[in-house]
Chain A
Amino acid sequence: MLAGKDGRVTQHYKIANIVATEGAHLANFDEAKFAHLQALSPDERADIAFVMDARDMSAALKDVRRLGLELQVIYHSHPHSPARPSLTDIKIASEFESTRGILNLPEPLHLIISLEKKDAPEANAFRIVNGTVTRVSYQTL
């Protein structure tokens, strides 16, 4: 997650991916998501599926508030696919809308980093609202 103020990102929080350690337990909580993970081969699962460590996420959000900043960007990488949201990403972003309401968070942009072309990684940012994806431009300072 990236945080900052007035559209300018100043903080980076790395959130652990707990698929490898907790993936098997996910069935208890969310069968649909678990079935989705099971549909992937073990390699794919290790490579492309992610579940944020809820503890890391909360700690990051707490720090963002402490610093008087706002959550601005949620990012993840696509090791083998293009830098655009997958159907799953769109669904997840929509689910996050309700969490956002509960926690009074601003709408984040979604940054996707594609490592498909090893020598030319690509990163695109998107707004995802009500299932509609709009690409947005950003600048690296």
Chain B
Amino acid sequence: MVKVRIPTPLRTLTGGKSEVEAPASDIQSLIESLNGQFPGLKDRVCDDNGEIRRFVNIYLNEEDIRFLQGKRTSVKDGDEVSIVPAIAGGVHPGDA
């Protein structure tokens, strides 16, 4: 099983859980497996072409999978995968 850290915006799908586990051999199968447990998760992490969205990073242990083999990066039992949103900000109207 691979341990997956879930960011706040996606916890609505995981019943509030910040950490879940899923069986997987690579990132692609991990995303499919997570989507099986938590329907809709894949859509929120991947775009229509199945690529990781540009405001999401997926880290295997501490390395961004974009610098490994992307979605074909293999994972093994005990690995930790983190789904991390990009840093965002802005001024809310009237909130300066």
Binding site for B on A (CB under 8 A): 18-19, 21-22, 25-26, 28-33, 36-37, 39-40, 44-45, 48-55, 57-59, 61-62, 74, 76, 78, 80-82, 86-89, 92, 95-96, 98-99, 102-104
Q: Which residues of A sit under 8 angstroms from B10, Cβ to Cβ?
A: 29
Query: Does B71 reach chain A (CB closer than 8 Å)?
Result: no
From DSSP, what is the main secondary structure of chain A's interface residues?
Answer: helix
Partner of A102, one of B9, B82, B88, B92: B82
Partner of B59, one of A50, A74, A96, A102: A102
Return the chain A residue nearest B63 by Cβ: A62
User: Is A29 a contact of B85 with CB atoms below 8 Å?
Assistant: yes
Interface size class of B (residues with CB under 8 A): 20 to 34
From DSSP, what is the main secondary structure of chain B's interface residues?
Answer: mixed
User: Is B90 a contact of A36 with CB atoms below 8 Å?
Assistant: yes
Q: How far is the CB of A116 from chain B (nearest CB, A)?
A: 9
User: Is B93 a contact of A92 with CB atoms below 8 Å?
Assistant: no
User: Is B67 a contact of A18 with CB atoms below 8 Å?
Assistant: no
User: Is B88 a contact of A33 with CB atoms below 8 Å?
Assistant: yes
12 example contacts (A-B, Cβ-Cβ < 8 A) are as follows A18-B54, A19-B90, A25-B55, A29-B10, A29-B45, A49-B88, A50-B88, A54-B54, A81-B96, A86-B95, A86-B96, A88-B89
User: Is B55 a contact of A54 with CB atoms below 8 Å?
Assistant: yes
Residue among B9, B10, B43, B56 having the largest count of chain A Cβ atoms under 10 Å: B9
The distance in angstroms between the C-alpha atoms of A32 and B93, with both chains bound, is 15
User: Is B54 a contact of A104 with CB atoms below 8 Å?
Assistant: no
The distance in angstroms between the C-alpha atoms of A98 and B10, with both chains bound, is 14
Given A86-B96, A87-B95, residue A102 in contact with residue B5 (CB < 8 A): yes
